[in-house]
Structure 1
Amino acid sequence: MKPEVAIMWFRRDLRLVDNAALYQALRQPYPVIPLFIFDTNILDKLSNKNDDRVQFIHAAITNMHRQLLGVGSSMWVYYGTPLQVFQQIMEQFYVQSVYTNTDCEQYAIDRDKHVADYLQQNGASFHSFKDQVIFDGSEVLKEDGTPYTVFTPYSKKWKALLQPFYLKSFPINPISNNLWQGSEKAIPTLAEMGFQPNHTIFPPQQVTNELISSYHLQRNFPAVNGTSRLGVHLRFGTISIRNLAAKAQQLNEVFLNELIWRDFYHAILYHFPHVRAGKAFKPIYDQIEWRNDEAAFEKWCVGKTGYPIVDAGMRELNTTGYMHNRVRMIVASFLTRHLLIDWHWGEAYFAEKLLDYDFAANNGGWQWAAGSGCDAAPYFRIFNPALQTEKFDKNLAYIHQWVPELNSFDYPAPIIQHEVARKRALEVYGRVLKNKMR
């Protein structure tokens, strides 16, 4: 007779502490199998077989596996499609229930529906919980029940609704009480999945109180170590958003606001399916006549536009998988306003390169820069890279780090003059928006 079990399906919540779904799974009566799936529906689309994000996930899973071995259990890790994996598990066990944490991206929504339908057809239940945000899309609404599309009133309502229990950790101790006990299962190696191991050093999971306390003073200066670099850990859930928000609430409201932006952009995905599908939040912006010059795009990608702050940012991204947030805004504005290249191109490039890539935040940031998003920069606000440099890298410390040839003949002339680009962007954007007003 097949054993009866429950399954804890990890996805972007790669930790054994303060995990909402794991807490719920361990409270039900059946032994819990900890499961992770290297999803071939996702991995097969990655052309870069040195992808650091896959290595990060693999390292996080390996760390969880070691912790579970210490209490007589282990991670069950598969390489395949989720539906195939659950079919395989159902051949071995009577699965009573599956517990997981909610993901609001479109692929995840579709995937979970297919898996939940399959489980229901086979007598198993599917339970999904909020874990990667403080408030989900249905919780912070206007008085009339409609969603906010501007950040400031959203953040005020968010803070007004916040009660201590929203930031309380989910206790999982002792974790071994209700875990499936058995022999160790081997984790597929990166090589077995077609990826090449490398030795990338990832940002630490901890951030000091001192950095959070001074965040509002230092966050805009890319040459200063003034940001947390926790994006990759929030993206894959190796740290708890609740613990971080609780610390931010005590130490720095500006830092807390950055976490609220995450909730805001996830709420936008929840309420506006056309954004999840890749459309402009403001549909009129889908009519922009982009130039989409491939040669100019390539220069932007490799950091050879002749605008030092832009080139420094792109080189930092290409080298490290990270870019300072202020610089992200500058390079995105430059691509969409100066070069008039479709924001989707930049969004896709960031999706390929960023360690902390998160669809909600990436899409929200790019649409903000392009003017097409909710609460976005107006079309007539066009960053001047020289002024941005003067304000945020006055001594060129960041630029010299990434553009050492700045003052040599090897450095290219500007790809376009700022005033020419500004005038052209105003004309192109203006034509579309004037048509809207007619």
Structure 2
Amino acid sequence: MRHLVWFRADLRIADNPALHEAMTDAATVSAIYIDSPGQWQQHGRSAMQRDFLSRNLQALAEQLATLGIPLTILTADSFTEVPTVLSTWLQQHPQDALYANRELGIDERRRDKAVQQALSDQMAIRVFNGDCVFQHGSLTTRSGDMYKVFTPFAKTWLAQLRAYSYRLLPSPAAQGKPLKVEKIELDGEQVSSAHWPAGEAAAAKRLSEFCQCHLRHYGEQRDYPAVNGTSSLSPYLALGVLSPNQCLAAIENELEGLPMSRGEPGFVWLNELIWREFYRHLMVEFPRLSMSRAFKPDTEALQWSQDSEAFAAWCAGQTGYPIVDAAMRCLNETGWMHNRLRMIVASFLTKDLHLDWRKGEAYFMSRLIDGELAANNGGWQWAAGTGADAAPYFRVFNPTTQGERFDSQGDFIRRWLPELAEVPARHIHSPHDWLDNQQPGHGYPKPIVDHKRARLHAIAMFDALKDQEAL
């Protein structure tokens, strides 16, 4: 039997259901990756993540080569071209079955449906869950509906974990002699991702080091951007270089068991993995989330500001709010942002500048090395008050007090705002009076909005929706 594995957002050989099953009772296994540079651009994904993709594909090809499995890179500029490109390749390289792991976005699902229709008469097609611990759609309410609020979803997720645990698949054995690997070069703009080592071994090393050094104290350290307290694993999870099952296994190995309730060491990070799955399950159940639509349909009527200058100031880190500006400049230079900062800048864009969350979502995707639709969309809609969230819509982060709380000495701020390097800690979060007195002509902008007034306006925007419903 000739089995073909189609790699997508699962660039690993360990804990890869499609690869594992393809190598069972197969005479030969081959692998492909179909690059779609036009689709990448249409989805607004970053040049840094594209470089990271290229490097991880190279690492995957080398790993597969040690197993005697060749990896072929095909190019179909858009997803609509994939069935034709794949059919043409299969005419020259016949296969008996195609194996792949499921993808979530509506464009990816439409692509896969078109491939199924084009090839189902020619070969068997088998699709697996290599994306979540529990398959999308498997966790529902008693009435069979998808959860729309995180807490009950998390309770059910944990109950499933207690009852069924998780299945971690080993790396497959070699099917033949090692192969030679050529250099992989993808088309399209790329920005160096060299700060992030590529490949499964690098991801596994980072996971192990995080669990050994930070897992137990993650809950106390994760909110402080000047502290190295987060996992920094999101770029690997986004491309599937690392699986959530591998994360669970690392937790269990470090703690000699999985934490199942708040207060247990390691539970806070496990809870973040559940958040990841919640957003991914939502993406499947509610396709509108892949179409730049609000989770709460009534919030489509919100009257967002069209202030392009305010948006440009936010993008450039020139708002006059130090914690916001430092976070945005960090993103622009490194392609990554601490999770607490993502919440702060998202709240600022939507609740202080009253700009559409979709603008922020798109900007993040265009810069992030860990850009991934479900998590990015879920986070932005959570901040904007349009998403799957039980909290009141009038939750508005105060950027000044957030900075005081999570970067009290201004260490993170000074790293990214050199113009504030000399500002004392007691003034760093509201530096303008000190700067005006001590460094006239400093150039750091005044706050572009008054937070107290902006907060009231944000609440009024949502109150207006209620007024419309009452008419």
TM-score over 0.5 (shorter chain)? yes
2:152 maps to 153
1:128-154 CA-to-partner distances (Å, cap 9, x unmatched) read: 111111112211111221111111111
Give how far 1:90 is off. 1.6
Which residue is 1:233 aligned to?
236
1:278 counterpart = 2:292? yes
Q: Measure how far apart 1:171 and its partner are.
A: 2.5
Question: Counterpart of 1:13?
Answer: 10
**Structure 1 residues 285-296: aligned runs within 5 Å:** 285-296=299-310
How far does residue 240 in structure 1 lie from its aligned partner after superposition? 2.2
Q: Give the equivalent residue in structure 2 for 1:25.
A: 22
Of 259, 276, 288, which aligns to 1:262? 276
Q: Deviations over 1:200-233 (max 9, x none)?
A: 3116522322211110010011110000010010
Distance in structure 1 (CA, Å) of the matches to 2:218 and 2:248: 14
Picking from 360, 370, 373, the partner of 2:387 is: 373
Closer, same or farther in 2 for the Cα pair 1:199/1:297, shift >3 Å? closer
2:33 is paired with a residue of what secondary structure?
strand
Relative distance call for 1:197 and 1:398 in structure 2 (3 A) is closer
- The DSSP-based 3-state class of the residue aligned with 1:78 is strand
Q: Which moved more, 1:64-73 or 1:8-17?
A: 64-73
Q: Is the 8 A contact 2:37 2:188 kept in 1?
A: no
Q: Among 180, 196, 203, which residue is 1:202 paired with?
A: 196
**Equivalent residue for 1:303, pick from 317, 335, 347:** 317
Q: One-letter code of the match for 2:151?
A: T
Corresponding position of 1:412:
445
* Aligned match of 2:249: 246
Give the whole-Å Cα distance in 1 for the aligned partners of 2:289 and 2:43. Answer: 22
1:219–1:226 contact (8 Å) kept in structure 2: yes
Q: Confirm or deny that 1:77 pairs with 2:90.
A: no
Residue segments in structure 1 that go unaligned for 5+ positions in a row: none
Q: C-alpha root-mean-square deviation of aligned residues, in Å?
A: 2.1
What TM-score do the two structures reach when normalised by structure 1? Answer: 0.92
Deviations 1:151-177 (A, max 9, x none): 111111110111486423113431x23
Question: For the structure 1 residues 40 and 200, does the alpha-carbon distance in structure 2 shift closer, same or farther, using more than 3 Å as the test?
Answer: same
Partner of 2:104: 104
The structural deviation recorded for 1:272 is 1.3
Report what 1:42 is aligned to. 39
Name the SS of the counterpart of 2:414 in structure 1: helix
Cα separation, 2, equivalents of 1:182 and 1:339? 57
- Distance change >3 Å, CA 189–CA 318, structure 1 → 2: same
Q: CA deviation at 1:340?
A: 0.6
8 Å contact 2:105–2:287 — kept in the other structure? no
Could you say what secondary structure the match of 2:326 adopts? helix
Q: What do the CA deviations read for 1:269-324 (whole angstroms, capped 9, x no partner)?
A: 11112222221111111000011200000000000000111111111110101011
Residue aligned with 1:405, SS: helix
The structure-2 alpha-carbon separation of the partners of 1:266 and 1:398, relative to structure 1 and needing over 3 Å to count, comes to same
Alignment partner of 1:394 is 2:408: yes
- 1:434 is matched with 467
Cα distance change on mapping 1:195 and 1:431 into 2, 3 Å: closer
Range moving further from structure 2, 344-353 or 207-216 = 207-216
Q: CA deviation at 1:74?
A: 2.3
C-alpha contact 1:296 1:339 (8 A) present in aligned 2: yes
- Do the aligned partners of 1:11 and 1:101 also contact (CA within 8 Å) in 2? yes
Which structure 2 residues correspond to residues 90-129 of structure 1 after superposition, within 5 A?
90-121=90-121, 123-129=122-128
Q: Which runs of 5+ in 2 are unaligned?
A: 252-257, 260-264, 424-434, 436-441
Greater displacement, 271-280 / 313-322: 271-280
Q: Can you list the C-alpha shifts for 1:389-435, whole angstroms capped at 9, x where unaligned?
A: 11111111111111121354211000011111112212222111232
Asked whether the equivalents of residues 68 and 75 of structure 1 are also in contact (C-alpha less than 8 Å), the reply is yes
- Residue 15 of structure 1: how far off its partner (Å): 0.7
| Local SS of the residue matching 1:95 | coil
CA distance in 1, matches of 2:44, 2:243: 30
Q: What amino acid is aligned across from residue 317 of structure 1 in structure 2?
A: L
Question: Counterpart of 1:52 in 2: which secondary structure?
Answer: helix
Equivalent residue for 1:352, pick from 336, 347, 366:
366
CA contact (8 A) 1:212 1:255 kept: yes
